[in-house]
Chain A
Amino acid sequence: MISWRAIAAILLVTGPALLAGEIPPDARRSGYAFMGPDTRAMQDDDTANPGMLFVLDGEQLWKKTTGAADKACADCHGDARSSMKGIAARYPAFDKALGRPVTLDQRINLCRADHQQATPLPYESRDLLALSAFVGHQSRGIPITAGDDPQVKPFVDQGRALFMQREGQLNLACTNCHDDNFGKRLAGAPITQGQPTGYPLYRLEWQTLGSIERRLRSCMTGVRAQAYDYGSPELVALQLYLMSRARGLPMETPAVRP
């Protein structure tokens, strides 16, 4: 007979590691695993992946001087292949001056304001997407570690609460699809785990590259909720939680999705 003490010990060991509804690390799968062979082939071939067009544009922007300071990204950061390697895998990251986490898009605009004295690039503009795709591409294959910094813990928790929060006229939370029903289909499309491994990514439906914030806002509109604004603390927290939830999965930027 198993003693109650033994059962209690097992519960103590497994309990805190795995919160209800969450996907264990070895069962985490990128959206890539849910795609058809044609879309996978498109992502895998760098001369067929339309996201690479934005990476090429980003490479040009990296070297181009801009703003009143007449400086290029490369003037401070040098060769992105070494200086930006692994950076996107740990974003959103804590900014000490602001006392909150910032996304890669926000970091690019902070750099523009502080060091280049240039105007911020609008969210989803071609130049911002190109720069973040170029920076993100340098982390391709590197496992995600965002959210490991203890300073961002409260923001990860906020993001998790938002992920679990039912909202909109359809009264659905992110978790209802992406934890509880991944692998099934919503209309014709497979439901993925919502692992943000390849942002900014090329969505065939959009016919362009898009950020994770665009994706999150589409989901919110889908459940008939009022979407948070680009750059809002809620979207940053959600993005941070999603990245921490994808811990260990390799980056794919720029990914292709249907």
Chain B
Amino acid sequence: MAALINVPSKARRGEIIEIRTLTSHIMETGFRHTADGTLVPRDIITGFVCRYNGAEIFRADLFPAIAANPYLSFFTVAKESGKFEFEWIGDNGYSSTASASITVG
């Protein structure tokens, strides 16, 4: 699924940087019914992980009350040049990944 990642392409060593992620997902709560009364099964993202050069720096659990297309923003310290990897997992075996690189000078 489409994802939008905002990581600064360059940062100074030791600088605090903001990482923003937005991904496509309907986040169906599992509490809604169709017009004929059948329950719409739950279909949400349940977890998000961000790794910085392989080391986990941020993790979040997601729940049914979170709106569609979840947007997550968090901070980290720019330590070294490399790659941020993002992973979303969810119901029905959902899995989506994205990555972004940073140059630390």
Contacts and interface: CB of A to CB of B under 8 A. Distances in A.
Nearest to A45: B6
B68 interface: yes
Given A47-B4, A56-B4, A57-B2, A207 B69 contact: yes
Contacts of B69: 50, 53, 207
B71 A56 contact: no
A54 B22 CA distance: 12
Given A207-B67, A207-B69, A57 B24 contact: yes
A193 to B, nearest CB: 27
A126 to B, nearest CB: 9
B22 A50 contact: yes
A46 B3 CA distance: 11
B74 to A, nearest CB: 14
A48 interface: yes
A207 B27 CA distance: 9
Nearest to A51: B69
A54 B4 CA distance: 11
Contact of B5 (A47, A50, A54, A57): A47
A46 B71 CA distance: 13
B93 to A, nearest CB: 20
A158 interface: no
Contacts of A47: 4-6, 20, 22
Contacts of B23: 53
Pick from B4, B67, B71 the residue with the most CB of A within 10 Å: B4
Interface string A44-83: 0111101011101100000000000000000000000000
A47 B8 CA distance: 12
A117 interface: no
A208 interface: yes
Interface in B1-58: 2-6, 20, 22-24, 26-27
Most-contacted residue by chain B among A53, A54, A57, A204 (CB, 10 A): A53
Nearest to B21: A47
Given A47-B22, A48-B20, A48-B22, A53 B4 contact: yes
A57 B69 CA distance: 14
A45 B20 CA distance: 11
Contact of B2 (A45, A48, A56): A56
Interface string A164-176: 0000000000000
B71 A48 contact: yes
A53 B2 contact: yes
A173 B49 CA distance: 50
Interface of B: 2-6, 20, 22-24, 26-27, 67-69, 71
20 contacts: A45-B6, A47-B5, A47-B6, A48-B4, A48-B71, A50-B22, A50-B68, A50-B69, A53-B4, A53-B22, A53-B23, A53-B24, A53-B69, A56-B2, A56-B4, A57-B2, A204-B67, A207-B68, A207-B69, A208-B68
Cβ-closest 10 pairs across A and B: A47-B6, A207-B68, A56-B2, A50-B69, A53-B24, A47-B4, A53-B2, A57-B2, A207-B67, A47-B20
Interface of A: 45-48, 50, 52-54, 56-57, 204, 207-208
Given A48-B4, A50-B69, A57-B2, 6 more contacts: A47-B20, A48-B20, A50-B68, A53-B24, A53-B69, A208-B26
